[in-house]
Amino acid sequence: AQTVTQSQPEMSVQEAETVTLSCTYDTSESDYYLFWYKQPPSRQMILVIRQEAYKQQNATENRFSVNFQKAAKSFSLKISDSQLGDAAMYFCAYYSGANSKLTFGKGITLSVRP
Amino acid sequence: NAGVTQTPKFRVLKTGQSMTLLCAQDMNHEYMYWYRQDPGMGLRLIHYSVGEGTTAKGEVPDGYNVSRLKKQNFLLGLESAAPSQTSVYFCASSYRGLAGGPDTQYFGPGTRLTVL
């Protein structure tokens, strides 16, 4: 079974600074996808970014980018120019191409200091 | 286009009572999922469906049943609620992506269930 580990329960960043959220996963599969989801206090789950395992290029979405290290099974999220609205819980997730399941990490709470 | 909706948004049950949570999506998605979210545990998959009339067990299926009689609806049932089922429940749906890969999962707003 796949596992997703987010070892840091909380992080804090100064507004306008950059922060990196770490995530590692364990799998023996070759066909998989990785995601970062954001959950603000409203509880709504919002997709931040996705990465296909077969792509070597790191995904980027505006201020959000990932550092995908396939051999190390690491998938970190970098948030540049942090904004107050980025404060939320962030979940790393692994999607198995073999069984169509999405496995989530336990999440990290990000606070942004004004 | 309402996306993914969940009914009800809040519910309080007594131990042993039964209830059904309804998830509906209007995006013609093939895949639908039920998760529960508990503090410090992230989201855990309960059951899921890859098409109308099909369901499969996820990570924590015990105590729950599901049905997908119509493509747009996915029902989660608790036959005899227990305090351990107090949680926030999320439904999600997605297309089956190109070449079998996943498209984005769209989540509903969640249902907060308390079992006394």
pLDDT value of position B24: 97
pLDDT value of position B88: 96
Tell me which residue in A9, A33, A105 faces B101 most closely, judged by beta carbons. Answer: A33
Q: CA-CA distance, A20 to A24, in Å (whole number)?
A: 13
Are A33 and B45 within 8 A, CB to CB? no
Higher pLDDT, A63 or B104: A63
pLDDT value of position B102: 61
The list of chain A residues with pLDDT below 70 reads none
Q: Give burial (CB, 10 Å; 0-12/13-18/19+) of A10.
A: exposed
Q: Are B31 and B50 in contact (CB under 8 A)?
A: yes
Q: Which residues contact B42 (CB under 8 A, 6 or more apart)?
A: A4, A6, A91, A104, A105, A106, A107
Within 14-73 of B, beta carbons closer than 8 Å to A belong to 31, 33, 35, 40-45, 48, 50, 58-59
Q: What 3-state DSSP class applies to A79?
A: strand
CB hemisphere CA count around B46 (13 angstroms): 26
Q: Which residue of A has its CA nearest to B5?
A: A44
Q: Which residue of B has its CA nearest to A37?
A: B105
For residue B98, is pLDDT > 70? no
Longest dimension (CA), chain B: 46
Mutation for testing the A interface, residue in B34, B37, B111 having most A CBs under 10 Å: B37
Q: What 3-state DSSP class applies to A6?
A: coil
Q: CA-CA distance, B93 to B51, in Å (whole number)?
A: 11
Mutation for testing the A interface, residue in B90, B105, B106, B112 having most A CBs under 10 Å: B105
Phi-psi region of A30 (alpha: psi -120 to 50; beta: other; left: phi over 0): alpha
Tell me which residue in B31, B42, B104 faces A100 most closely, judged by beta carbons. Answer: B31
pLDDT value of position A56: 85
Q: CA-CA distance, A101 to B48, in Å (whole number)?
A: 8
Tell me which residue in B42, B92, B110 faces A105 most closely, judged by beta carbons. Answer: B42
pLDDT value of position B101: 54
CB hemisphere CA count around B65 (13 angstroms): 9
Q: Tell me the nearest-neighbour CA distance from A17 into chain B, angstroms.
A: 27
